[in-house]
Amino acid sequence: MISLLKTDLKRILKDKLFMIALIIAVVLSCTTPLLYKIMPVEGMEEMLGAFGINMTGKSVFFQCFSPSSDAGLIVPILIGIILFKDYSYGTIRNKIIIGKKRSSIYFSSFIATSITICAIILIQAILALLLSLIFFNYQQTPFTGADFGYLMLSVLFEILVYILISALICFLCVWAKNLGLIIVGYVGVSMLFSIIGGVIMGVLFVTDMAGKEINKFLEILSNINIFTSNLIGSGTTYTLENLLYILLPIIFGTAILTALSIILFNKKDIK
Amino acid sequence: MEYVLRTFDVVKKYKNHYALNKVNMNVQKGDIYGFVGENGSGKTTIIRLICGLIAQNEGSFELFGVKYNSSDIHKVREKLGAIVESPSIYANMSAKDNLKMQSVLIGVNSEEKIKEVLEYVGLSELYDSPKKAGDFSLGMRQRLGIAMALIGEPEFIILDEPMNGLDPQGIVEIRELILKLNNEKGITFLISSHILTELALVATKYGIISKGRIIKEITAEELRNECRQSTEIKAENLRALTKAVEGKLDGYEITLVPNGIKIFGEIDLSSVLKLIIDAGVKITSVNSSSFSIEDYYLSIIGGVKND
């Protein structure tokens, strides 16, 4: 397993696409705080506030983490392309021929993908935070020890979100017969969840039917949708309800995708 | 007898099509097993199966005496090296990096070993070369694939159509490499090809497969005998016939066949027949045959030679 993980990490790091993903992430990390800075349109702060977005370092940091951000869409795809090369080059055969278990091969690629995607997104978010701290404060209130704990916990949750995304990418690599399907698959899932999330938020915003049963249901749907949910990093503490909304879809999603991937991979005829 | 590979009634079905239909084959330690069959006969399917890339629907196989579904099968696969269809190499990496990846995977991370295998396959000039494997010629890729298989010091190497697409020089090089590895390191080979004559210079045993079935397993010596020019003479009295030729055909290999004898090699047929007739033996039939390896293969699979 360790040898598999070493080779998977090595081939990802040696691939040009990894460097491209890193460059894109660095460039994108600069755009969000700079856009906030160079477009201080009057009333914009209030307008963003209505959507739960504040011109603070904290807000920028967690926006950069979001799976619906540009990096959240591009980085997993690029890492997925590198991952799929094991199938397209046929090098996955080398691992099976010398007796590596298929489940170990899968877990190794899953861990390598998670590490790489999380590292790039984390670098992007930290750079964005550092840059935004030049222009704005971290938050509107003074930074305390409790804020630090909250920040660390939020980063952990975001990492878990990207582990779920890595599981999705690995599932697509096992399931898809070609690269196009992986790209279309990931963009499709990402868009679908974003659209559903957007529509739900729109409905909730326009109808303002707070308290009604249907609205409660839509709110839950919105909260468990990792592509649009802004529960992570948006407050100062986590309620038990919020923790459930954050963790349950991640744990169930990752478990289901991993189980499906291993079943598929064990049955798959390797070309 | 020590077997490296044995298959027992292996069946692989794709919907209603039988890719393999009760395949039984035996590869002994030290063999260079030539696996011959027309395109689509099931050669690659059985190779994939042995390598663990696909699973059979029925039957079983043993690798180094370990059953395919045993928990030890992963362990014995460490003694296996294979190139299935085309060498599995990272096109975006150099030869050295490809070998490094394979050595990390196997757990023999040594620069010396990499140097040694590159030298062995005649690619030592690539040790320090940044040239990407994607830019290699087919022959170089084939040799790099063998080098990757050699990194783990395998006891059994499977090569699927290794001569495909190679120029005559490349074919000779790969052939010499196979013989060298078999002679010097005692590595057992299973080499598939759709051209029997291509394997004739290296194989010690052949398995002929057609339409998913092994039609014949034959040793190289048996094949040579089958393909030699021979004359079969049958007579009413076998004892008289053998007496007539006894001591008169020195230097020729003669074997008994039902009601007659078979003389191998080129003979002066008229003088041999005169000798027999003069001895008062009544000949019932005379049959001369001269099979080339190709003729033999076609006769086995029931095909027709296109001249």
pLDDT at A46 over 70: no
* Among the partner residues A14, A97, A271, nearest to B82 by beta-carbon distance: A97
What's residue A106's pLDDT? 93
Flag whether residue B106 sits within 8 Å of chain A, measured between CB atoms: yes
What's residue B223's pLDDT? 77
Measure Cα distances from B91 to A48, A179, A194 in Å: 48, 16, 36
Note whether B266 and B280 are within 8 A (CB). no
What's residue A112's pLDDT? 93
CA distance A28 to chain B (A): 27
What's residue B18's pLDDT? 87
Mean pLDDT (whole number) for B290-297: 72
Note whether B44 and B84 are within 8 A (CB). yes
Neighbouring residues of B134: CB distance < 8 A, sequence distance ≥ 6 = B91, B92
Question: How far apart are alpha carbons A84 and A174 in whole angstroms?
Answer: 8
pLDDT at B227 over 50: yes
Tokens standing for B101? 């990846």
Neighbouring residues of A235: CB distance < 8 A, sequence distance ≥ 6 = A150, A242
Mean pLDDT of chain A: 82
pLDDT at A196 over 90: no
What are the pLDDT digits (tens) for A6-34? 899 988 998 889 999 999 888 888 887 78
Measure Cα distances from A176 to A80, A172, A184, B43, B143 in Å: 11, 5, 10, 26, 31
Give the count of beta carbons closer than 10 Å to the beta carbon of residue B26. 18
Q: pTM, whole model, 2 decimals? A: 0.80
Q: Do residue A99 and residue B106 have CB atoms under 8 angstroms apart?
A: no
Contacts of A3 in chain B (CB under 8 A): 104-107
What's residue B307's pLDDT? 42
What are the pLDDT digits (tens) for B6-30? 999 989 998 888 888 888 999 999 8
Q: Do residue B51 and residue A93 have CB atoms under 8 angstroms apart?
A: yes
Contacts from B295-303 at CB under 8 Å and sequence distance 24+? Answer: B295/B227, B296/B196, B296/B223, B296/B226, B296/B227, B297/B36, B297/B196, B297/B208, B300/B208, B300/B210, B300/B215, B300/B216, B301/B37, B301/B38, B301/B208, B301/B210, B301/B215, B302/B210, B303/B38
Mean pLDDT (whole number) for B223-231: 77
Flag whether residue B84 sits within 8 Å of chain A, measured between CB atoms: yes
What are the pLDDT digits (tens) for B113-156? 888 888 888 788 888 888 898 888 888 888 888 888 888 888 99
Mean pLDDT (whole number) for B51-73: 89
Can you name the residues that pair with B208 across neighbouring β-strands?
B36, B216
What's residue A156's pLDDT? 87
pLDDT band at B255, cuts 50/70/90?
confident
pLDDT at B304 over 60: no
pLDDT top residue among A47 and B180 = B180
Report the SS3 class of residue A81.
helix
pLDDT at A209 over 70: no
Note whether B140 and B167 are within 8 A (CB). no
pLDDT band at B305, cuts 50/70/90?
very low
What's residue A43's pLDDT? 63
Mean pLDDT of chain B: 85
Q: Do residue A91 and residue B75 have CB atoms under 8 angstroms apart?
A: no
pLDDT at A110 over 90: yes
pLDDT at A213 over 80: no
pLDDT at B74 over 90: no
> In chain B, which residue's Cα lies nearest the Cα of A86?
B90
Percentage of chain A lying above the pLDDT 90 cut? 19
What are the pLDDT digits (tens) for A146-192? 777 888 888 888 888 889 999 999 999 889 888 888 888 888 888 88
Q: A-contacting residues of B 111-170, CB under 8 Å?
A: 148, 152
Question: How far apart are alpha carbons B247 and A161 in whole angstroms?
Answer: 91
Q: Which of A130, A80, A88, A148 is nearest to A109 (CA)?
A: A80
What are the pLDDT digits (tens) for A89-105? 888 998 999 889 999 99
pLDDT top residue among B189 and B169 = B189
Question: How far apart are alpha carbons B117 and B150 in whole angstroms?
Answer: 7
Contacts of A99 in chain B (CB under 8 A): 52, 73-78, 80
List of domains in chain B: 3-224 (3.40.50.300), 229-290 (3.30.70.100)
- Say if the ipTM goes beyond 0.90: no
Contacts of B88 in chain A (CB under 8 A): 89-94
